[in-house]
Chain A
Amino acid sequence: MTSLKTPLHAWHTGHGARMGLFGGYDMPLWYASAKDEHLAVLNHAGIFDTSHMAVVLVDGPGAVDLLQFCFTNDLTACLGPRKAPLKPGRAVYGAFLDAQGHVIDDAIVFMLTTEAFMVVVNAGMGPAVAGHLVQHGGAYAARVTDLSGQVGKMDVQGPMAARILYDVLAEPETVFDAMPYFSFKGGFTDAMPSWGAVVTRQGVPLLLSRTGYTGEFGFELFSDSEQIVVLWEAILAAGAPHGAVPCGLAARDSLRAGAGLPLSHQDIGAWPFCRHPWPFALPYRPGTQDFSKPFLGDTALQGCQGPYTYPFIGRDLRKVTLPAEVLDVNGRSIGDVLTCVTDMAIGWHEGRVFSIRSPDRPKDFRGGGLCCGFVRVADPLPLDSPLVLKDKRRRIDVRIVKDIRPDRTARQPMHTLLQPKEE
């Protein structure tokens, strides 16, 4: 099978990227240095080609009801701690499950209008998710359109992201006004209601979303696939004075793992979507284990007995290679390792994990890197449980944690990141 290519493929190979297959696409793994790319997103900004991701449009008078049945999050009760209904210009994370409660894919659903939604899923998953929606869509007046391969997408992530886009957008002040985490503006086809609300100085219309997959402040940019190369080069040029670098999938993986975010088909997959660190993806009524709506897979999740998924952190940056087992302190095998990478921006200091961007980090703290990821075990484990991860070569000591990389910037208010850089 030949691999798929994004419109930026020639740019990547022309700039010395080490390429690798991901989701059927030949993608950049890193350019000069995966470590420097990871650190750039913490310190400045990183620019990622994410055109391999798939976009599915769901519209019509029954679109909400179809998504309410197929998508795990409750579109009528998901915004903020008070669980307000989703509204146009806002997005929400969740998953599509089968009747067994197993994950088909995870997704962000963007509400374009009360009757139109953009569903962003993983590389190569457009046909599967669109097919799933069509299969369950018979009773709903909704149209499902797979836009795989027609949408250009890139992510600008890191504390300098807004300042970089400020130099690229035609009317940045207007665009950035009232743009909280998980909100978006604009559109990339003239059929989208806010098309034209976000346009670059070069005239490229965008859908600009305050989302990402790094845990750090930043944006995802959607455009027509034919305009993504122009957009990419404009943003790289504007980003260079701010320390921005192009980043590959290696840094994307280590950043997302450090941010405690799952990789679909690795950390979530063909097992029940429950007892994991992402309860916000499920429609729990606040303070209860009850769901606020019925949805496909819900009965399988009620009274779910696991397996249990937890984030972990190692003692140093040494990793195990998958497949790897999880052992308890008595050496008994209790599960398997889902993800194990090194977050180069964090390190231990006197019993606490700091990031190189932690405001209260010790003087001269250099991070050094820690192994981290997710384990899946049969029975529940308390926080701080010591475990041993074992591959064919080595055993490493790790600890169950609540969260991995501290002091992430994803939710930081926009205005604080438009000011000239402190320090």
Chain B
Amino acid sequence: MKELSEVNLPEDVRYTKDHEWARPKGETFQIGITDFAQDQLGDIVFVELPEIGDRFESGDEFGTVESVKAVSELFMPMGGEVVAINEALEDSPELVNTAPYTDGWMLEIKTGDSAAYDQLMDRAAYLDMLKGLEE
């Protein structure tokens, strides 16, 4: 298990209390789970994602990640329509473990509410929350 000091928390994404991240990418936002989340879950052996065109509100469950032992829900950091899913995860779900912010991305969404992104936690706020979880 990683110490908090070892958890990778990039500056170019924003975070949720459920350990998802969102990153602006042109007109859309990319979404995935944090390094802290993948470390807690352990080996990810299956990722269940929605279909392109599905619409979600902020906080909706959009899929699951499955480890050898457990199944965990994934929640939308912001509302929007799915415009792309990471198809590489079908054959290589372990990308979520090895590269949670890059090759292990999950969804790309188009949102009508870009302001929702600004309300997510920045690195410092998320790190403070993780420190709180450790106590």
Chain A residues within 8 Å of B, Cβ to Cβ = 16-19, 29-30, 33-36, 38, 250-251, 253-254, 316-321, 341-342, 344, 369, 393-394
Interface residues of B, dominant DSSP: strand
For residue A347, give the distance in angstroms from its CB to the closest CB of chain B: 12
Known: A30-B42, A393-B73. A35 touches B68 (CB 8 A): yes
Query: How far, in whole Å, are A250 and B42 apart by their CA atoms in the complex?
Result: 10
A317 touches B45 (CB 8 A): yes
Query: How far, in whole Å, are A52 and B17 apart by their CA atoms in the complex?
Result: 35
Which of A30, A342, A394 contacts B45, CB < 8 Å? Answer: A342
Tell me the residues in window 29-51 of chain B with beta carbons closer than 8 Å to chain A beta carbons.
40, 42-43, 45-46, 48
Q: Is B70 an interface residue (CB 8 A)?
A: yes
User: In chain A, what residue has the closest Cβ to B72?
Assistant: A321
User: In chain B, what residue has the closest Cβ to A391?
Assistant: B71
Known: A16-B1, A19-B1, A393-B64. A341 touches B69 (CB 8 A): yes
Query: How far, in whole Å, are A342 and B71 apart by their CA atoms in the complex?
Result: 11
B45 touches A35 (CB 8 A): yes
On chain B, the residues within 8 Å of A253 by CB distance are 69
A34 touches B66 (CB 8 A): no
Chain B residues within 8 Å of A, Cβ to Cβ = 1, 40, 42-43, 45-46, 48, 61, 64, 66-71, 73
B42 touches A33 (CB 8 A): yes
On chain A, the residues within 8 Å of B73 by CB distance are 393
B68 touches A342 (CB 8 A): yes
Query: How far, in whole Å, are A17 and B1 apart by their CA atoms in the complex?
Result: 6
User: In chain B, what residue has the closest Cβ to A250?
Assistant: B69
B70 touches A38 (CB 8 A): no
On chain A, the residues within 8 Å of B64 by CB distance are 393-394
User: In chain B, what residue has the closest Cβ to A320?
Assistant: B71
A317 touches B46 (CB 8 A): yes
Known: A34-B43, A318-B66. A393 touches B71 (CB 8 A): yes
For residue B5, give the distance in angstroms from its CB to the closest CB of chain A: 13
On chain B, the residues within 8 Å of A17 by CB distance are 1
Q: Across the A-B interface, give the 5 residue pairs with the lowest CB-CB distance, nearest first.
A: A35-B43, A18-B1, A34-B68, A250-B69, A321-B71
Query: How far, in whole Å, are A18 and B43 apart by their CA atoms in the complex?
Result: 12
Known: A369-B45, A393-B64. A34 touches B1 (CB 8 A): no
12 contacts across the A-B interface (CB closer than 8 A): A17-B1, A33-B43, A34-B42, A250-B68, A250-B69, A318-B46, A318-B66, A318-B71, A319-B71, A344-B45, A393-B61, A393-B64
On chain A, the residues within 8 Å of B42 by CB distance are 18, 29-30, 33-34, 250
Which of B40, B46, B48, B68 contacts A254, CB < 8 Å? Answer: B68
